Chains A and B, each alone.
Chain A
Amino acid sequence: MEQLKTIGRELAMGSQGGFGQSKEFLDLVKSIGEARSKAEEERIVLLEIETLKRRLSEPDIPKRKMKEYIIRLVYVEMLGHDGSFAYIHAVKMTHDDNLLLKRTGYLAVSLFLSDDHDLIILIVNTIQKDLRSDNYLVVCAALNAVCKLINDETVPAVLPQVVDLLAHPKEAVRKKAIMALHRFYQKSPSSVSHLVSNFRKRLCDNDPGVMGATLCSLFDLITIDANSFKDLVVSFVSILKQVAERRLPKAYDYHQLPAPFIQIRLLKILALLGSGDKQSSEQMYTVVGDIFRKCDSSSNIGNAVLYECICCVSSIYPNPKLLEQAAQVISRFLKSDSHNLKYMGIDALGRLIKISPEIAEQHQLAVIDCLEDPDDTLKRKTFELLYKMTKSSNVEVIVDRMIDYMISINDNHYKTYIASRCVELAEQFAPSNQWFILTMNKVFEHAGDLVNVKVAHNLMKLIAEGFGEDDDDADSQLRSSAVESYLRIIGEPKLPSVFLQVICWVLGEYGTADGKYSASYITGKLCDVAEAYSNDESVKAYAVTAIMKIYAFEISAGRNVDFLPECQSLVEELSASHSTDLQQRAYELQAVISLDAPAVESIMPPDASCEDIEIDKNLSFLNGYVQEALEKGAQPYIPENERSGVLDISNFGNQDHHEALTHSLKFEAYELPKPVMPSRVPPAAVASSTELVPVPEPSYARETRQPASLPSVSDAGSSELKLRLDGVQKKWGRPTYSSSASPSTNSSSSTSHKTTNGVTQVDSVGASNSKARDTYDSRRPQVEISPEKQKLASSLFGGPSKTEKRPSSANHKASKASTHTSEKSQAPKAAAVQAEVNREPAPDLLDLGDSTSSSSVPAIDPFKQLEGLLDQTDVASNVNHGTAGAAKTPDFMGLYADTPVSGLGSSVGDLLPTNRDEFNLTSELSNATRTAQGGVTQFNKGPNPKDALEKDSLVRQMGVTPTSPNPNLFRDLLG
């Protein structure tokens, strides 16, 4: 049957005129098609090339035959074989007068030649002539070739002709001319910059096709410089309006949609022009809204336009109504069965959450479905989205997911990419040092060879410096946990080199610091590493240096050093190594361990990796020695640049001097992080002086770290790693919070609510968690969801409903400003409140509410107080502490102050360590809880719906379900 068809076509081909091929070509195609192996195909093609070479060298080839040879050659080239021997024939063919041959010639050269090929010069003249041809097809063929073959050198040769063609009577030619001009602009902007006005002029072309072509060029121009095209906003809007209203000829309809490609282009342009420009954006609202309404969402292209609308809406100055429409479209995309639409939906969601973060929440299940979809493209897009919505409360889940995926793929390009994302997120949002180190371990373990070396250095620096806190306990804890995790990992086979370097360095520096592991144990491990990775010189270098450090610390601590036999053999092996670096290290090691304790201590002071090393570059202390040598008749030193031919040796000498004379042996680990140190140390120091309160109890490490460490990490980021610093919080905080929220205000995540002080909170948190889930369930009762998914959803998205709250950030601010003493007085208060809250049974909600209204002083707006809670508290507690008079206390604290527990609470508080962070947590918690309990009364007093909404989310955070999603309802009831 297939054969019959072939024969039929073969017969038909005989009569195909222009497009017909000869039997030979047919045979070629057939035999290649039937080739069983790549080798066979290769053989056939090579044979064909031989034939073509022979034929082409024959004299007087008929033109028709020539054309066929060229086509065959194009085909052969497409299969990956070089056809350069015949390029000249293709060039010759462009000179032909026959249209068919000319077109074939142009096709061949535009496929064969690059724009800087030597033969181009032979074509330029022909192109010039053809661009002036009367036959528009010749002109079109030449324009086609122009796009591919002309480079910035040859642009001037054809530019005048192309510009003339902009006024050609045929619209097809005008269209191609404008596109060719656009191509010139892409290739060499300078040569056509004076012609930009032509693009504007052609926008008014009476043929919509030409106008559409102009949009491509304008889009590029506007991408580069939007400001100089602001005047066109009106025109673009009116064009878009006309297109959407079907004013174009029916011929431009595509799948019943009026000129969708033009609409897409225009929307892209408007997105650029309206970005950050309220005035321009306002002109667009109507037309974009119209398109949202009119666009048919059943066809593929209709969805393409809708997607473009969302992009536009998310780029221009936000308009609530449009955002709502966009959100509707997104939910339609995400609910669709088509993977394509889901993909677009995820992408669009990623754009929109920048503006209205809350919309992600309602799509959490769809997002999780996409994350678990077998489709890789969709999965990656979803990771992109998750990356954008990461914050400290969900970073663990997201990074875990990313790492799992990273482990599962083989694509090195994407692996590198996602590994760097993991590192970035971990550095930015790490909830604890422990977690950070474990995460980095995983990343290194599975993608160590792919991540930037800088990351390894940062990790070492982090372990060495701690988080810039004065708290040595936390630092040493961090170090010992790092050591422990590395000792666990070190036995695994085939670890990446970079990771091993980190491990060796850390083990050398801190392996014996906490006294948990003996020197011989650690050195044994290091010897194993050096042995197992004997091909990797840098690992060996790190290992042997680490061993030296361990012994040096032992010696300076006055302990006896028993040199392990495997160490001995390692050192012996290395001192005979081909690598001079390894040799040197080995000899240094031997030299160091033979010294006495004071000498060793001054060479290798323990835990001094962060100290700056002073280097006397002039080696002035050697002057005497030099003088002596000169007097003895030595040659004077000739500076390097005045010598020739002995450069290498002199370099060597120099280095040796340095090493011997700067009190320090050469250790890479000390040197590498140095370039970045200056930029990092100051912020860390500032952080520690202003923000730190020593934390005596290790269990608080997790909470206390955040305020201090995050600023320092992000500071470092701005200078070197290009972290996303701006808008991090904005994305997820409500827009109104974004300015005040700092990256450290993440303490509202439920996990950090664990036992923060003497009073147990676990129960209430647990309860609120489960209630939160209830809320969520009740909103979507009909959907059957597996518990795992739910859990994932709540860990990923639980955040949005528990977003950083203003009060908590106010807490931070206020407490930063407040003195230690005022903190002292606050802590008991908070504790008191908390105690009270815990004691109060839930059914008393309304009673409590009543007491709120009665006890708070009406002259002061309670919401103001809530916002600036701590400022108020400062005042209140400073003034009223001790008296605890209910009537005088101007804030909600007063509510509880007159209860009998208050005394008890404050006495409890006095016993507690005064820790600010602790206080933040407790006060925030109690604050939130109070809101939840007193919610009913507060709502009716809230004059501002926005405040009410904030309250609402706060209430949700605490897991108390308001009877209605709309908190304003309470106003009706009670106000």
Chain B
Amino acid sequence: MIRSVMVINTQGKPRLAKFYEFQPVEKQQELIRSVYGVLSSRAENVSNFVDAESIFGADTRLVYKHFATLYFVFVFDSSENELAMLDLIQVFVETLDKCFKNVCELDVVLNYSKMHTVLDEIIFGGQVLETSSTEVMKAVEEISRLESASNAISLVPKSVSAWQSR
């Protein structure tokens, strides 16, 4: 199962943190810090895998991918495949890219709840739910459509499609 998903920027600031098993706030911070400590010391052109047992306990692995100013980090156990997880990061990022058109760190920060929506469509309760970014996009768009429809307060009807064509 997947234990945790983190997005950390290259300065070590968390941009998204999701733990599929509850961790108290302080522990989360500690984990994020140690993960960042490991990642920032890794050279370019090395493998995307890190031994995470010293941080997350026995039977944990960590796969990360570095995009521009962000590290995308998945932590999981031996029931998952490292290379497959690497591709799952790819799926996540691709989906974000489709969502935000050339995703950058700012999108990630500003659309905090949307990030979670996207992630929840890919990983559910620590298991891989969907691996096709098109399918994820469909689901996310459906959610935003229904949300804005039910949102009586919202006076702006344009919603996703509007800012997507921006």
Q: Residues of A contacting B157 with CB < 8 Å?
A: 17
User: Assuming A17-B151, A180-B125, is B146 touching A414 (CB within 8 A)?
Assistant: no
Q: Mark B84-127, 1 if CB is under 8 A from A, else 0.
A: 10110011000000000000001101111110110010001111
Task: Give bound CA distance, A938 to B156, whole Å.
Answer: 91
Which chain B residues lie closer than 8 Å to A251 at the CB level? 132, 134-135
Which residues from B are CB-within-8-Å of A13?
110
Smallest CB–CB gap between B154 and chain A, Å?
5
Pick from B53, B135, B159: contact of A18, CB below 8 A. Answer: B159
**Which of B26, B113, B120 interacts with A80 by CB under 8 Å?**
B26
Which of A103-111, A693-701, A833-841 interfaces with chain B? A103-111
Binary per-residue interface labels of chain B (1-24) against chain A in the complex, 1 for a CB within 8 Å, 0 otherwise? 100000000000110111010101
Q: Are A17 and B152 in contact (CB-based, < 8 A)? A: no
14 pairs, CB–CB < 8 Å, chain A vs chain B = A13-B110, A21-B112, A80-B29, A81-B25, A147-B126, A182-B127, A186-B1, A223-B79, A251-B135, A252-B132, A268-B79, A343-B49, A378-B47, A412-B54
Chain A residues near B25: list those with CB within 8 A: 77, 80-82
Residues of A within 8 A of B112 (CB): 21, 71, 74-75
Chain A residues with CB under 8 A of B106: 5-6, 9
User: What are the 8 tightest A-B residue pairs by CB atom distance, in nearest-first order?
Assistant: A147-B125, A413-B54, A304-B83, A339-B47, A375-B46, A80-B29, A114-B22, A100-B147
Q: A307-B81, A344-B83 are in contact. List 14 more A-B contacts (CB 8 A).
A: A9-B110, A19-B111, A64-B153, A82-B25, A99-B147, A148-B20, A179-B129, A213-B127, A216-B128, A252-B132, A264-B81, A303-B83, A304-B81, A377-B47
Tell me, in angstroms, the Cα distance from A303 to B47 when the chains sit together.
15
| Partner among A26, A78, A304, A343 whose Cβ is within 8 Å of the Cβ of B110 | A26
Q: A5-B106, A9-B106, A81-B25 are in contact. Are A374 and B147 (CB under 8 A)?
A: no
| Interface membership of chain B positions 139-151, coded 1 if the CB is closer than 8 angstroms to chain A and 0 otherwise | 1001110111011
**A62 in the interface (beta carbon within 8 A):** yes
Whether B125 contacts A179 by the Cβ 8 Å rule is yes
Nearest B residue to A254 by beta-carbon distance? B131
A457 on the B face (CB < 8 A): no
Q: Are A29 and B109 in contact (CB under 8 A)?
A: yes
Cα A172 to Cα B112 in complex, Å, equals 23
Residue of B nearest to A337 (CB): B45
Q: Within the assembled complex, what's the spacing in Å between the Cα atoms of A308 and B132?
A: 20
- Per-position binary interface string of chain A over residues 18-55, scored 1 when its CB falls under 8 Å from any chain B CB and 0 otherwise: 11110001100100110000000000000000000000
Chain A residues with Cβ below 8 Å from B45 are 339
- Tell me the count of chain A residues lying within 8 A, CB to CB, of chain B: 91
The answer, yes or no, to whether A726 is at the interface (CB within 8 Å) is no
Does A807 reach chain B (CB closer than 8 Å)?
Answer: no
Interface membership of A16, Cβ < 8 A? yes
A98 touches B150 (CB 8 A): yes
Residue of chain A at shortest CB distance from B145: A18
A80–B33 CA distance with the chains assembled, in angstroms: 11
From A18, A343, A376, residue with most partner B Cβ within 10 Å: A18
Q: Name which residue of chain B comes closest to A378, CB basis.
A: B47
* In-complex Cβ contact of B166 among A12, A111, A216, A411 (8 A): A12
CB within 8 Å of B: which A448-463 residues:
none
Q: A18-B144, A33-B109, A77-B25 are in contact. Are A342 and B47 (CB under 8 A)?
A: yes
Residue tally, chain B, CB below 8 Å to A: 75
Distance to closest chain A CB from B127 (angstroms): 5
Is B68 part of the contact surface with A, judged by Cβ < 8 Å?
Answer: no
Chain B residue nearest to A6 (CB atoms) is: B106
B93 to chain A, nearest CB (A): 13
Tell yes or no: A340 within 8 A of B by CB.
yes
Measured CB to CB, the closest approach of chain A to B65, in angstroms, equals 11
- Interface residue A802 (Cβ < 8 Å from any Cβ of B): no
Across the interface, B124 reaches (CB within 8 A) one of A6, A176, A344, namely A176
List residues of chain A with CB within 8 A of the CB of B142: 137
B-side contacts of A20, CB under 8 Å: 156
Q: CB distance B54 to A414 under 8 Å?
A: yes
CA–CA, A667 to B65, complex, Å?
57
A342 contacts across to B, CB distance below 8 A: 47
Report which of B26, B109, B120, B163 forms a contact with A12, defined as CB distance below 8 A. Answer: B163
What's the least CB distance linking B92 to chain A, in Å? Answer: 13
Whether A179 contacts B163 by the Cβ 8 Å rule is no
A80 in contact with B28 (CB, 8 Å) = yes
Taking Cβ atoms with an 8 Å cutoff, the residues of B that contact A are 1, 13-14, 16-18, 20, 22, 24-26, 28-29, 42-43, 45-51, 53-54, 79, 81-84, 86-87, 90-91, 106-107, 109-114, 116-117, 120, 124-132, 134-135, 139, 142-144, 146-148, 150-154, 156-160, 162-163, 166
Residues in B with CB closer than 8 Å to A62 are 153
Contact B139 A172 (CB under 8 A): yes
Q: Which residues of chain B are within 8 angstroms of A100 by Cβ–Cβ distance?
A: 147-148, 150-151
| A137 to B18 CA separation, bound complex (whole angstroms) | 21
Instruction: Say how far A288's CB is from chain B's closest CB, in angstroms.
Output: 16
Contact indicator B147/A340 (Cβ below 8 Å): no
Contact, CB under 8 Å: A307 / B83: yes
A377 to B39, CA, bound (A): 12
C-alpha gap A147/B43 in the complex (Å):
37
Q: Point out the residues of chain B lying under 8 angstroms from A32, CB to CB.
A: 13
Which of chain A's residues has its CB closest to B166's CB?
A12
Nearest CB in chain B to that of A212: its residue:
B128
Chain A residues with CB below 8 A from B124, complex form: 143-144, 147, 175-176, 179
Quick check: B144 and A377 within 8 Å, CB to CB?
no
Give complex CA distance A143, B146 in Å. 18
Q: From residue 245 to 286 of chain A, which have CB atoms closer than 8 A to chain B?
A: 251-252, 254-255, 260-261, 264, 268
How far, in angstroms, from A373 to B50 measured CA to CA in the complex? 14
**CB <8 Å contact, B129 and A340:** no
Check if A883 is an interface residue, CB within 8 A of chain B: no
A79 within 8 Å of B by Cβ? Answer: yes
A63 to B106, CA, bound (A): 26
- Residues of B close to A114: CB separation below 8 A: 22, 24
Asked if A739 is an interface residue, CB under 8 A from chain B, the answer is no
Complex contacts, B13 vs chain A, CB 8 Å: 32-33, 79
Chain B residues with CB under 8 A of A19:
111, 113-114, 144, 160
- B154 surroundings in chain A (CB, below 8 A): 17-18, 64
**Residues in B whose Cβ lies below 8 Å from that of A338:** 47
Is there a chain B Cβ closer than 8 Å to A301's Cβ?
A: yes
| Chain B CB within 10 Å, residue with most, of A115, A223, A254, A255 | A254
A175 touches B158 (CB 8 A): no
Chain B residues within an 8 Å CB radius of A776: none
Complex CA–CA separation, A342 to B48 (angstroms) = 11
**Is A260 in contact with B84, judged by CB distance below 8 angstroms?**
yes
Query: How distant is the Cα of A416 from the Cα of B14 in the complex, in angstroms?
Result: 30
CB distance from B103 to the nearest CB of A (A): 12
What separation, in Å, do the CA atoms of A854 and B159 have in the docked complex? 97
Assembled-state Cα–Cα distance A239/B43 (Å): 42
Least distance between B96 CB and chain A CB atoms (Å): 13
Q: Please determine whether A213 and B129 come into contact, CB atoms closer than 8 angstroms.
A: yes
Verify if A941 is at the interface (C-beta below 8 Å from B).
no
Do the beta carbons of A16 and B163 come within 8 Å of each other?
Answer: yes
Contacts of B54 in A (CB 8 A): 411-414
Tell me if A300 counts as interface (CB < 8 A to partner B).
Answer: yes
Shortest C-beta distance, B18 to chain A (Å), equals 7
Chain B residues with CB under 8 A of A80? 25-26, 28-29
Verify if A183 is at the interface (C-beta below 8 Å from B). yes
Q: Which residue of B lies closest to A80 (CB)?
A: B29
Q: A618 an interface residue at 8 Å Cβ cutoff?
A: no
In the bound complex, how far is the Cα of B125 from the Cα of A303, in angstroms?
Answer: 26
Q: Which residues of B contact A129 (CB under 8 A)?
A: none
A377 touches B51 (CB 8 A): yes
A111 contact from B18, B51, B126, Cβ within 8 A? B18
The reply to whether A99 and B146 form a contact with Cβ atoms under 8 Å apart is yes
CA distance A77 to B23 in the complex (A): 12
A339 to B146, CA, bound (A): 44
How close is B37's CB to chain A, nearest CB, in angstroms?
A: 10
In contact, B147 and A377 (Cβ under 8 angstroms): no
The answer to whether A304 and B87 have CB atoms under 8 Å apart is yes
Report chain B residues within 8 Å CB of A12: 163, 166
